[in-house]
Structure 1
Amino acid sequence: MVVIVLGLPGSGKSYFAEKLAGKIEAEYISSDRLRKELFAERTYSKAEKARVYEEMLKRTELAISNNKPVVLDATFYEEETREMFLENLGIQTFIVEIQASESLIKERLKKKRLYSEADFEVYQMIRNKWIEVKQPRLILKSTDTNVDDMLNRALEYLSNDTGTDP
């Protein structure tokens, strides 16, 4: 099983995705962590982004070959990037979209985070380029106090076998 956790910067997707991976004993693959691992100096160019997503796909395929569930954590704001994963994995894939109010996102992005370098300007840029997700998905609204509810809803969604089949 693969769970793609996607959303805008500051939505709470990374916090949620890492906790979800722990709950389902899955490998957690984060685009922000990979970017820092792969590039000492990050430019966020199209080529750099492509390299990060290619590495995410490679690591996902390795985990799948070892019968390990995977939770992917990235914005996935472009349809072609989502399709790259959905078409190449050959395994049931679930999509969970994390959303939050813009005011909460603005507050979250003021704080320094260990892996993400996105600020409110990056959020606005990605929001303006966001391509709506067409595939079936669970949409969760993040606040600063509801992660347990979000996790429970996600676990129920995953157990209902409603993912995208290969």
Structure 2
Amino acid sequence: MPRLVVVCGLPGVGKSTTAARVADRLGAALLRTDAVRKEIRPEPRYDRVESRRVYSRVLDEAHGHLAAGREVVLDGTFQNERQREWARDLADDVDCGFELVRVVCDESVAVERIADRDLDGELSDASLGTYHELMTSFDELALPHVRIDNSRSEAATERQVERWCDQLR
């Protein structure tokens, strides 16, 4: 049975790195909201209408993969409980497993990562302002989830991902 894994969290915490590691370990398709957002609008506004379009398209793409029996990892902020519930409902609709991963890190680490981004080479346009805005508006996770702390070394994060993925098998 395929599985849908949602990797969520604030900008700069390492969601994309973590999601890529999870997708690689599971042999899953990786769908990034940042990539879809850039397809929809090269200069994203991060407003409510745009976000709804982005998440709708990502979930539609995920549906196709899941219906074909392929596992999927979604990489996005998923700041609203409603967005996370849409993903869980998709998993229910196609009768597949559902996992939610929240990536966190120390605020100082996230701020430094965002400040150091080469925006020409990054899919994400999230700024420090976006980080601080989302920090205050990010809905608490009501759904069961695993927490990956990406504050330390890449190796430490990789060990957490490895242990968690091994538990899924």
TM-score using structure 1 length: 0.91
CA–CA distance in structure 2, aligned partners of residues 124 and 100 of structure 1: 14
For residues 47 and 70 of structure 1, the distance between their equivalents in structure 2, rounded to whole angstroms, comes to 24
Residue 85 (1) aligns with residue 91 (2)? no
Q: 2:110 aligns with which of 82, 86, 105?
A: 105
SS at match of 2:65: helix
- Post-superposition, which runs of at least 4 consecutive aligned residues in structure 1 deviate over 6 A? none
The question of whether the paired residues in 2 share the 8 Å contact of 1:96 and 1:154 is answered with: no
Please, what TM-score do these two structures have when normalized by structure 2?
0.89
Contact 1:98 1:141 in 2 (8 A): yes
- Kept in 2: contact 1:138–1:157 (CA 8 A): no
Q: Could you give the per-residue CA deviations for residues 46-92 of structure 1, whole angstroms, max 9, x where no partner exists? A: 11100000001100100011110000011111011111111233221
Report what 2:134 is aligned to: 126
Within a 5 Å distance, the mapping from 1:68-79 to structure 2 comes to 68-79=70-81
Name 1:156's counterpart in structure 2.
166
Match status 1:40 vs 2:46? no
**Identity of counterpart residues, as a percentage?**
28
- Alpha-carbon distance, 1:39 to partner: 1.5
- RMSD between aligned residues: 1.2
Task: For structure 2, list consecutive stretches of 5 or more residues without a partner in the other structure.
Answer: none
Note the C-alpha offset of 1:144: 4.4
Instruction: Provide the residue aligned with 1:11 in structure 2.
Output: 13
3-state DSSP of counterpart to 2:73: strand
